[in-house]
């Protein structure tokens, strides 16, 4: 991604910004094509299996080399769910519900 930031006009300016968080107000976000969404719109959504079993709550994502990993918290544990169509079966932003089909053993890999 390439972007321009007001007040960063040189390589030296940019180097001072390395590692800093860049945030955009929600109302300034570009509209997305139908069927796509910003991950921030999912924060707090329920994550359930296709059988209706509650897995936890979507709390964010982690970028990974192969695909993003969705972070789902349940109690004091976190599940890292690969954001791939074979696992993430449905995302209903309006209903705040994500349906997954986790492969055997995935949910047992939760971290504390």
CATH of the domain at 50: 2.30.30.240
What band does 21 get if pLDDT is binned at 50, 70 and 90? Answer: confident
At 25, phi and psi to the nearest 5?
-60, 145
49 within domain boundaries: yes
21 within domain boundaries: no
Rounded Cα–Cα distance for residues 52 and 77 (Å) = 19
16 within domain boundaries: no
58 within domain boundaries: yes
Domain encompassing residue 55:
31-109
20 within domain boundaries: no
Domain count, the chain: 1
pTM over 0.85: no
Q: Beta 54-62 vs 77-82: how paired, if at all?
A: unpaired
Q: Tell which residue, 67, 108, 65, has the closest CA to residue 88.
A: 67
Average pLDDT of every residue of the chain: 90
1 within domain boundaries: no
2 within domain boundaries: no
Q: Report the pLDDT averaged over residues 14-41.
A: 85
């Amino acid at each position: 991604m390439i972007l321009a930031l007001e007040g960063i006009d040189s390589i030296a300016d940019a180097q001072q910004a390395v590692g800093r968080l860049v945030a955009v107000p929600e109302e300034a976000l570009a509209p997305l094509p139908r069927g796509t969404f910003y991950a921030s719109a999912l924060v707090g959504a329920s994550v359930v299996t296709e059988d209706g079993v509650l897995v936890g709550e979507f709390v964010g994502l982690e970028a990974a080399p192969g695909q993003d990993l969705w972070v789902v918290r349940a109690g004091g544990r976190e599940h890292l769910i690969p954001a791939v169509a074979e696992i993430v079966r449905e995302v209903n932003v309006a209903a705040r519900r994500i349906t997954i089909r986790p492969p055997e053993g995935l949910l047992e890999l939760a971290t504390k």
